[in-house]
């Protein structure tokens, strides 16, 4: 099975982490800091995207539904189908808050906010 952009659906986490993320206007909005895994279902809960900050100070972390990311070879990064305004208004967390409630708090808020159909 392929992604909407026609790419393979299998990739190593080490290859994803650090990859740039762009919004619909083509602006670089951050990078993938990590991925949150759901151990019991073997699924990817969400990508952890770091926005803003400088050298890790003041950076906000957003849980973005994994299925919303589509790799763009020309950009060498992922594109999310959201506007700058949507991303700025999205729920954000400290890196530690992303794992509270086994990650389901951030996951549920993310899927609800971005109106992405849940995988669970």
pLDDT of residue 1: 43
- Cα dihedral: 77, 78, 80, 83 (round 10): -10
Question: Of the candidates 84, 74, 79, 117, which has an alpha carbon nearest to the alpha carbon of residue 3?
Answer: 79
The rounded distance, in Å, linking the Cα atoms of 59 and 51 is 6
Rounded average pLDDT per 10-residue block, the chain, 120 residues: 57 89 91 90 89 67 93 94 88 88 93 93
pLDDT of residue 83: 84
Residue 94 tokens read as: 């400290």
Q: Taking the model in full, what pTM does it have?
A: 0.83
Residue corresponding to tokens 């993310």: 110
The rounded distance, in Å, linking the Cα atoms of 66 and 57 is 25
pLDDT of residue 106: 94
Residue corresponding to tokens 């906010």: 113
């Amino acid at each position: 099975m392929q992604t909407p952009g026609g790419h393979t659906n299998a990739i190593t986490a080490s290859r994803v982490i650090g990859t740039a993320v762009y919004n619909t206007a083509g602006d670089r909005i951050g990078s993938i800091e990590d991925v949150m895994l759901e151990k019991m279902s073997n699924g990817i809960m969400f990508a952890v995207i770091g926005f803003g900050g400088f050298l890790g100070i003041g950076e906000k972390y957003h849980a973005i539904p994994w299925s919303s990311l589509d790799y763009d070879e020309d950009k060498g990064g992922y594109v999310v189908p959201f506007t700058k305004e949507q991303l700025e208004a999205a729920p954000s967390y400290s890196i530690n808050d992303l794992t509270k409630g086994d990650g389901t708090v951030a996951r549920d808020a993310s899927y609800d906010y971005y109106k992405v159909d849940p995988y669970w």
